[in-house]
């Protein structure tokens, strides 16, 4: 579990195809690895990766075909910058929102414009994620916890303050660039619960019928 508050900017040191999937070597820059051990999770551009080796200046992780199918990791290039966040601790200050590190889809940067000292981005989400985007709600972009300014169809607007631009890779975003999106996990759980309630109501929508009475043993045909 993560908070969406980026701790450091890393760099892809190596990308290797291994048995049909990928193995990544990520140099972690200023990220403190003193408390990281094998098997720990590190969010890399919003993707929860498990450290399988710790060479000293970073970590190595395997990326499954399932993860590759939902991310842009198949297009990663050596030297590419990435956002990094270690898994949260029980004592961690919760500055962002609940982030699982499971990417829901890939979005596209539609526009970028200066807005006083901030940067205003318009992004387009996949159609399947549209229903989870609400004004003033939360969304994760490449692992960064952000607030949605406004929504129109699949398009949504973000305002990036100078500190966020400086501490993440967002300052380098250009029109047409693809980014990882993770919607608010609470919205997903609510959708699932409401769907179950609707199904139960639909199943009971006919009220009392002869078939139901017969099945309950109250009458014989």
Residue ranges of domains in the chain, CATH in brackets:
8-86 (2.40.30.20), 105-196 (2.40.30.20)
Distance CA 159, CA 149 (A): 7
pLDDT of residue 197: 53
Distance CA 140, CA 180 (A): 8
Residues in CB range of 69: below 8 A, 6 or more apart:
none
pLDDT of residue 188: 81
In degrees, rounded to 5, the angle at the alpha carbon of residue 113 between the alpha carbons of residues 108 and 117 is: 125
pLDDT of residue 190: 79
Distance CA 30, CA 28 (A): 6
Q: What is the pTM (predicted TM-score) of this model?
A: 0.85
Could you state, in chain order, the average pLDDT of each consecutive group of 10 residues for the chain (221 residues)? Answer: 95 94 96 96 98 97 95 96 93 81 96 96 97 94 97 97 97 97 87 64 54 55 45
pLDDT of residue 81: 98
pLDDT of residue 216: 57
pLDDT of residue 204: 54
Q: Is 45 helix (H, G, I), strand (E, B) or coil?
A: coil
């Amino acid at each position: 579990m993560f908070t969406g508050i980026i701790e450091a900017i890393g760099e892809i040191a190596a990308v290797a195809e291994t048995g049909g999937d990928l193995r990544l070597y990520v140099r972690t820059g200023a990220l403190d690895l003193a408390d990281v051990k094998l098997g720990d999770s590190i969010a890399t551009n919003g993707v929860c990766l498990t450290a399988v080796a710790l060479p000293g200046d970073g970590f190595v992780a395997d990326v499954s075909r399932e993860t590759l199918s939902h991310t842009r990791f198949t297009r990663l290039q050596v030297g590419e910058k990435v956002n990094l966040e270690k898994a949260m601790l029980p004592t961690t200050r919760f500055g962002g929102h609940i982030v699982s590190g499971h990417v829901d889809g890939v979005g596209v940067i539609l526009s970028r414009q200066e807005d006083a000292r901030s940067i205003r981005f318009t992004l387009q989400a996949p159609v399947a994620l549209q229903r989870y985007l609400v004004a003033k709600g939360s969304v994760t972009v490449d692992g960064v916890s952000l607030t949605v300014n406004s929504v129109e169809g699949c398009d949504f607007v973000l305002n990036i303050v100078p500190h966020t631009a400086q501490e993440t890779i967002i300052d380098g975003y250009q029109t047409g660039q693809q980014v990882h999106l993770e919607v608010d996990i609470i919205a997903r759980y609510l959708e699932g619960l409401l769907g179950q309630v609707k199904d139960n109501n639909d199943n009971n929508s006919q009220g009392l019928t002869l078939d139901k009475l017969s099945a309950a043993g109250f009458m014989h045909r």
